[in-house]
Amino acid sequence: MCGRQLERFVAFWTLVFIRIVTGLAGEGRSVWKKDPYFSPVSETQMFLYDTFPKEFLWGVGMGAFQVEGSWRKDGKGSSVWDHFIHSEFRDADSTDASSDSYTLLDKDLSALDFLGVTFYQFSISWSRLFPTGVVAAPNEKGLQYYNTLIDSLLYRNIDPVVTLYHWDLPLMLQEKYGGWKNESVIDIFNDYATFCFQTFGDRVKYWITIHNPYLVAWHGYGTGIHAPGERGKITTVYSVGHNLIKAHAKVWRNYKKHFQPYQKGMMSIVLGSHWIEPNKSEDALDISKCQQSMERVLGWFAKPIHGDGDYPEELKNEFSFLPRFTEDEKNYVKGTADFFAFSFGPNNFKPPNTLPKMGQNLSLNLREVLNWIKLEYNSPRILIAENGWFTDSHVKTDDTTAIYMMKNFINKVLQAIKYDNIDVFGYTAWSLLDGFEWQHAYNIRRGLFYVDFKSKKKERIPKSSALYYKQIIRENGFFPRESTPSLQAQFSCDFSWGITESVLKAESVASSPQFCDSSLYLWNITGDGLLHKVKGVKLKTRPAQCTDFVSIKKQLDLLEKMKVTHYRFALDWSLILPNGDLSVVNRQVLRYYRCVISEVLKLNVQSMVTLYYPTHAYLGLPGPLLQTGGWLNQSTAYAFQDYAALCFRELGDLVKLWITINEPNRLSHVYNRSSNDTYRAAHNLLIAHAMAWKIYDEQYRSFQYGKVSLSLHSDWAEPANPYFESHSKAADRFLQFEIGWFADPIFKTGDYPATMREYIGFKNRKGLSYSSLPSFTSEEKQLVKGAADFYALNHFTTRFVIHEPQNGSQYEFDHDIQFLQDITCLSSPSRLAVVPWGVRKVLKWIKKTYGDIDIYITANGIDDQSLDNDELRNYYLGKYIQEVLKAYYIDKVKIKGYYAFKLTEEKSKPRFGFFTSDSKGKPSVKFYNNLISNNGFPADYSVCDPPYQEKQCSFCLFISQKKPLIFFACCLFSTLILLLTIIVFHKRKRRKRFKAKSIQRFCVSGTWRFG
């Protein structure tokens, strides 16, 4: 009890100390406090398929200076950015190279029509209305442009959301007053705003005073990377920020008093920010630093406006020079926003060295920053007033990465609404068009529509992101396109439920030789901790047994817990034939493997034996074969044939399922000096497999009745961008280069895929590659074609594929693809995406491509870091097996078995095992047990309940497993019976003797009396 009180006392004073140092913090810091028992597969954290509220607003935004162009046209005055460009940018003659929205308004409106948005957020160019910045007679051409724009939007039922100031301060105000450093600009800004309310307010219901004042102050007057480009003192930066806040408040009060009563509009200020995560979520000091970081950026402007009218305590404590609000000013500033307009985009994260990261980690988690805003500022209504990402300038319409960023951001908003009850009422995708991107000029693009700045027509061409955003708007959210409802059904009653292990390292000597060694030993008689043989003493021994190998005992124990029907493991070729040929056969290793198979059979578990299991780290070839070139040398194929024949002969009477080679289509990672090396090695692997299959077919199948195949790595490929045919072609090309490369010769034509040959030929003609696929002779085609009794696949994930032209003679370059990581997908620590529907798709593809053949899934699994609660693995198993069942039950794919990967994990490698390296079982063992016992996902009852005979066999199995214990018990029982018999016999004998003596005494006594 005292210990708990002490912990509470220390925790309390730690918190007090942090608060004294950093100042009183808002409730937002609780966002970073993570539940240590939080599930990695919690529904609330995974991608949400759902819709937004019916009244949700979908919009798109743009800044005037970025797209209008025509900087000197029709009487427009210069802005600070016009001046800044010509003084600081070498290659930027003017913004006339931009999208030229000022003269191409109809094209902008057509783009808006295409998207189907409900609002358009744009800014008014202050200097286009009033060239000097001071309100006088407006520039009629500018006025006409904005009137036309607003009227055209309303005609299309698109609400205008109008920003008064998006960084393009009239140059004269900078030159005459010093810009926002001077409080005089506040009144001038208010006059400009008043004119806008009077002129446009009858048609505008949403107003933004200033867009992202943090960037105006920090980069315009601090770092100097924004106009006006001043690299001033930190005091200037905060003075500018102070004036921007007061300018906003003045305009808001003005609108509230004089215009809102009859115009019925709403007004806010767009505040932008980054987001940050602590290095350690359990570290209070790291959390405190994250809170400080947010207060220095977002809190700087949000707390005065959306909070109590004053700056965060952390800022006031840190900077003594920070301007102070009087009490009247606090009341004047406080509450001057009708909603919280929030910007979350690349400008808030770049350059990263200018952000107050406080030693913590930047993050793009929009949902968490929305939660922080909710907690800090009393659950305001929120408009996402700017959100999106960027692509490089060379990217035209194929902005695939922008799709995935948009998908992630918008889904985070949906999660915040549905799970966290955050009142987000609208979303603004940024931006409508490619344009001038501030300090990046034209080196990046952010538009949903591509614009060729050098062309005359400057057409607005929709990018992939525009098509995707249009779809989201139309559906008002996200609908699952690939997954289907869960199926309640079972696999066939003879379905194989297996577990896969990699290479079993054989013990050359039994680990428990005590019953085979006739010698007697004494231990530690000299204190050296060693065994010492007693000379002249010989003990009775028994013949060697398979269970003398401790590793076999362990495997049997694990397999018994798994409750599988099949066990897949691999032999070690280099141990069985150390010279690579039959000159030396390690009979002890062969005996070990035979022991494994025979002992496993006693558990009613069949073995699927893999002859050769190479990996990137361990090629697994005997040394002499490696020295002669390995798989680049055709003689290795003949050596493999001899090795396979030996295994069939020695083990085949116990094995019904054989895998010759595991994942030969992944050896490109080893033979990667050139593509021709890769293809030559693959060719020899195919020939080796085919010769091994033929040996079995001709010499052993007739009496061993087994089946032989090879396991191919068969991940599914999905086009990363569904709007581009080139991505679909790339996905198909990946399947041909990855799977068809080996499957077509065996299951289809006896030759490599035509797609593969044609594409490599195309690259050769272009001079992009010198790769060449080997040719099969007619004898080889005949040998290879049909050389498999079933299709065996290892499937782990789905790859999202991009078409990416590449030069060079490498296998990886020949298919011209790159992979994209979908950040919205649940993924493992090794970044394997959990995409369950991918396994169903690849199974259907195999059936469609290679016919109605038997299929075994010989490896399927995921790495999970948890040692005691592997929920991710359970989730993966349940979802993937459900999709396998759909393929079996609905698509009629002839799936004969499923093997989970893998039995035990290896140290210092991703944790794929159901058991730890020290044989400790994880919860997934029980989960898999249930799937096996149910034979899938039955509705009410199992159609495969074991018959009476099988139930009897389970008792027989128990007897066979516990023979030593039962024998010992019988001996003990017999000994007890014998002892009891002897005791009873002796007791009876003593009684007889006692009676005899008693009678004798009685007789003697009687004779004396009568005598």
Question: If we measure between CA atoms, which residue out of 636, 546, 606, 856 comes closest to residue 644?
Answer: 636
CB 201 within 8 A of CB 265: yes
> What integer pLDDT is reported at residue 37 of this predicted model?
78
Q: Are strands 566-570 and 606-612 parallel, antiparallel or unpaired?
A: parallel
Tokens of 786: 């049909």
Distance, in Å, from the CA atom of 934 to the CA atom of 569, rounded to the nearest integer, reads: 25
Note the pLDDT tens digit of each residue in 429-453.
999 999 999 999 999 999 999 999 9
Q: Helices then strands (H, E): number in the chain?
A: 35, 29
Report the C-alpha gap between 45 and 559 in whole angstroms: 34
Share of the chain above pLDDT 70, in %: 91
Q: Is the peptide bond before 926 cis (omega within 30 degrees of 0)?
A: no
Q: Which residue do the tokens 């039959």 mark?
A: 582
Q: What is the dihedral of CA 256, 262, 264, 267, to 10 degrees?
A: -30
State both tokens at 836: 């369950």
- Residue 717, strand partner residues: 799
Q: What is the pLDDT of residue 94?
A: 52
Residue ranges of E strands in 363-458: 382-387, 391-392, 424-430, 444-445, 449-450
CA 840, 843, 845, 847: dihedral to nearest 10 degrees? Answer: -140
For residues 464 and 449, the answer to whether their CB atoms sit within 8 Å is no
Q: CA end-to-end span of the chain, whole Å?
A: 94
Look at residue 961 in the predicted model and tell me its pLDDT.
55
Find out whether 156 and 109 touch, Cβ atoms under 8 Å.
yes
DSSP assignment, residue 78? P
Which pLDDT score, from 0 to 100, does residue 286 have?
Answer: 96
d(CA 955, CA 968): 19
Tell me the pLDDT of the chain averaged across its residues.
91
Residue pair 897/452 in contact by the 8 Å Cβ criterion? no
pLDDT at 1008: 36
Specify the pairing of strand 489-490 against strand 936-937: antiparallel
Query: What kind and span of H or E run contains 284?
Result: helix 284-294
796 close to 862: Cβ distance less than 8 angstroms: yes
φ/ψ of residue 124, rounded to 5: -95, 135
Instruction: Dig out the tokens for 505 from the structure.
Output: 């390292």
CB 235, CB 172: distance < 8 Å: no
Q: Which helix (H) or strand (E) holds 960?
A: helix 948-961
Q: Could you list the mean pLDDT of each consecutive 10-residue stretch along the chain, which spans 1011 residues?
A: 44 38 61 86 94 98 95 92 87 67 97 98 98 96 98 98 98 97 98 98 98 98 96 94 98 98 98 96 94 97 97 93 96 98 95 92 97 97 97 95 97 98 98 95 96 94 98 96 88 97 86 64 78 78 77 94 98 96 95 96 97 91 96 97 98 98 91 92 97 98 98 98 96 97 97 96 94 96 98 98 94 94 95 97 98 98 94 97 98 98 90 94 97 92 54 52 66 79 77 62 43 40
Q: Are 472 and 429 in contact (CB under 8 A)?
A: no
Q: Dihedral through CA 149, CA 155, CA 158, CA 159, nearest 10? A: 70
pLDDT at 17: 38
Please give the Cα distance from 114 to 302 (Å, whole number). Answer: 35
Distance CA 366, CA 409 (A): 6
Cα-Cα-Cα-Cα dihedral sign, residues 494, 499, 502, 508: negative
Q: What DSSP character marks residue 201?
A: T
Cis peptide bond prior to 228, omega within 30° of 0: yes
In whole angstroms, give the CA distance from residue 305 to residue 325.
Answer: 12
> Could you give the CA distance from residue 787 to residue 793 in angstroms, rounded to a whole number?
16
Length of the chain equals 1011
